[in-house]
Structure 1
Amino acid sequence: MDNSSSSMSLAILLMTLFMFGFSSSKAQMVPALFVFGDSLVDVGNNNYLPISTAKANFPHNGVDFPNKKATGRFSNGKNAADLLAQKVGLPSSPPYLSLASKNASAYMTGVSFASGGAGIFNGTDQKLGQSIPLTRQVGYYEKIYQSLVQTLGPAGVQNRISKSLFMVVIGSNDIFDYPRNKSNIPQQYVDSMVFTLKGLLKRLHSSGARKFVFPAIGAIGCIPSERLKSQTEECNEESNSLALKYNEGLKSMLQELKSELKDIAYSYFDTYAVLQNIVQNPANNGFSEIKAACCGLGKLKAKIPCLPLSTYCPNRRDHVWWDLYHPTEATATILVDTIFDGPLQYTFPMNGRQLVAI
């Protein structure tokens, strides 16, 4: 078979996959899930960044993951990206950097571009050495989109991409980075975050994205590393205040974007309110420890991160936080359950299941 025949056969195969779905799962609800964001949804991209210290590809991470394997997820088990993929009947979207040299078939059910330390702004990873900021994540997606267009044609790609989900979990690292940028007042800073994000979303829209899932920033002032700053172990109200200001701006911006781009749909998830409910009513949600991390060392197990030399709690289900920054799989499960099937109180203007059905 000559090269032209081989290329044509590959194109026919890929078009068939696009038309009939790459996964054989009867539960598959969307063609693909593309994930953008930070360590909350990183599934291993940072494993491929040589000078990054924001890595989790070692024990005790993954202690509850299949085969007890540490894969680069900042969690004892699955994170929110994995859990959302399960909801829609897809395998977890693989890390982009593990697939960068492969052909279009590798991108069929989605890709994760998320990277620990990443922010809306470039440079939020200065303490950690290296990450893939959101601007570059969007650039990587645009490359994938163009390669698919070249192989399958604009109509075939758009038919599939327009039905796919785009999950964007970003902003916490920008809030943590605010002390380096205090020349801006808080409102100016979060307004700039929102403005920058809007431009990046328009780029995604230009490359086919139509359905977005937007978890807002959670009560990040209440994570163990922030409580550690207080002798009384209280939440850091400055961080929480910035998160709330940003969330208000994000919600307004999404409404504006919908008025400008009529063909998009989105689900905004009030992570902050749901996390606050968990922290304020832990027993109702099956938790007994809301302040300390499960894995780490020192006060609140937050003085030393979750490293192989650290200790970890025997029952991860009763801890809200896995390490000094990140939630346990149990917490992430509650969040994703609410994203997908939650009421209007937490999901605006619709939940994930309703977004998928459009």
Structure 2
Amino acid sequence: MTHMPSRNIMGIFLILLFLIGLRCSGTAAQLVPAIFVFGDSLVDVGNNNHLHLSLAKADFPHNGVDFPGKRATGRFSNGKNAADFLAEKVGLPTSPPYLSLVSGNSNVPSFLTGVSFASGGAGIFDSTDQVYKQSIPLSKQVEYYTTVHDDLVKHLGSSAAHKLISKSLFAVVIGSNDVFGYSGSVKASSNPQQYVDSMTSSLKGYLNILHSRGARKFVIIGLGPIGCCPSQRNQNRTEECNEGTNRLSLMYNEALVAMLHTLKSEELGDISYSFYDTYTVMQSFIQSPASNGFTEVKAACCGLGKLKAKVACLPISKYCPNRRDHLFWDLYHPTEAAARLFIDDAFDGPSHHAFPVNVRQLTAL
């Protein structure tokens, strides 16, 4: 009698457990097997909780005031963030923070629906870590993913692991901290174009590594007009946006779009991607707040001082009674309401917001 290799039996068993769990949980139609998330505080779902020396944390009130259970989870938000809403859209639970799953041992069943490596304070460049003392830069996030990849191959077998990974989404939400970091000695050593070209060149290298380990479908979120966040407006007497920061964000987005096009057309023809133009959409929120459900697009909801941006969202801070009408939760981050709108648009939005395909179309490829 022919015996099936034990590794394949284990792989089939784990996948069956996963499918049964999804069916029992009443999850919406599942469009992809898993989501692997890379990025910064916009999509951190708790990795920084496990970095004991980090200053970039959100595991305390008033964060999470609108999250289920009204608890702070490490999300830089009053409730759910973009990573949560993306998972909901494709019928999956939120990808758990990698550092919550590992303590010297792999946790393959938890890896089956994806993992989040995102970390508050992270950047494309390792140097962004100097600002917040401890985060997981993109280089380390990608390194962690290679470990997850190898564990999946080991436990599922090469063929089953490759099938799962190739159909999964790889969401990349990063770059804001690098743009904020363009000052001082960095500014003196490179002009803006050189800087953003270096950002996209570095990112391209990481996308190549992910591709070499099975990634085929990428959700790439462009930078918004981050010069308009409360912390930047607070630096101007007129409370206007920091146009220098916004110009750098636009330059980066343009370089990023060009890099992705070249990567697909000339180097990695088997990848697919959806780029989301956060900048244009967020500008429409700022310029036409009422038509998007907002009444306050300058000040933070949670904080103290001018624009509630003198003091960050700490337990001593005050927060607004209606979070749904604010664009910003704190000095830097959108409210749950804003994050939901961004993901709704990225998922089903028009081709001038999400291109060359939107995320729903990407899942079907």
TM-score higher than 0.5 here? yes
2:299 matched to 1:299?
no
Partner residue, 1:138: 142
Partner residue, 1:83: 85
User: 1: CA distance between counterparts of 2:294 and 2:209?
Assistant: 41
Q: Matches of residues 44-123 of structure 1 in structure 2 within 5 Å?
A: 44-100=46-102, 101-123=105-127
**Which secondary structure state, in structure 2, belongs to the residue aligned with residue 168 of structure 1?**
strand
Partner residue, 2:33: 31
User: 1: CA distance between counterparts of 2:17 and 2:271?
Assistant: 24
2:261 matched to 1:255?
yes
User: 1: CA distance between counterparts of 2:329 and 2:59?
Assistant: 15
The alpha-carbon deviation at position 11 of structure 1 amounts to: 4.0
**Which secondary structure state, in structure 1, belongs to the residue aligned with residue 245 of structure 2?**
helix
The alpha-carbon deviation at position 269 of structure 1 amounts to: 0.3
The alpha-carbon deviation at position 10 of structure 1 amounts to: 3.7
Give the residue type in structure 1 aligned to 2:330: D
Partner residue, 1:196: 202
Give the residue type in structure 1 aligned to 2:263: L
Deviation readout 1:11-61 (Å, 9 max, x if unpaired): 44125457x586223511110011000000000000000110100000000
Q: Decide whether aligned partners of structure 1 residues 22 and 356 sit closer, same or farther in structure 2, where only a CA change above 3 A counts.
A: farther
2:14 matched to 1:14?
yes
Q: Decide whether aligned partners of structure 1 residues 8 and 275 sit closer, same or farther in structure 2, where only a CA change above 3 A counts.
A: closer
The alpha-carbon deviation at position 127 of structure 1 amounts to: 2.2
Give the residue type in structure 2 aligned to 1:340: F
Partner residue, 2:222: 216
What percentage of aligned pairs have identical amino acids?
A: 63
Give the residue type in structure 2 aligned to 1:323: D
**Which secondary structure state, in structure 2, belongs to the residue aligned with residue 178 of structure 1?**
coil
- TM (norm. structure 2) is 0.94
**Root mean square deviation of aligned Cα:** 1.5
Which residues of structure 2 form unaligned runs of 5+?
none
Q: In the alignment, which of 170, 173, 188 is matched to residue 174 of structure 2?
A: 170
**Which secondary structure state, in structure 2, belongs to the residue aligned with residue 34 of structure 1?**
strand
The alpha-carbon deviation at position 152 of structure 1 amounts to: 1.5
User: 2: CA distance between counterparts of 1:322 and 1:23?
Assistant: 32
Q: Matches of residues 176-325 of structure 1 in structure 2 within 5 Å?
A: 176-180=180-184, 181-182=186-187, 183-259=189-265, 260-325=267-332
Cα contact 2:37–2:83 (8 A) shared by 1:
yes
Cα contact 1:218–1:243 (8 A) shared by 2:
yes
Deviation readout 1:188-217 (Å, 9 max, x if unpaired): 000000000000000000011000001100
- TM (norm. structure 1) is 0.96
Cα contact 2:8–2:156 (8 A) shared by 1:
no
Cα contact 2:170–2:218 (8 A) shared by 1:
yes
**Which secondary structure state, in structure 1, belongs to the residue aligned with residue 148 of structure 2?**
helix
Q: State the 4+ residue runs in structure 1 displaced beyond 6 angstroms.
A: 5-8
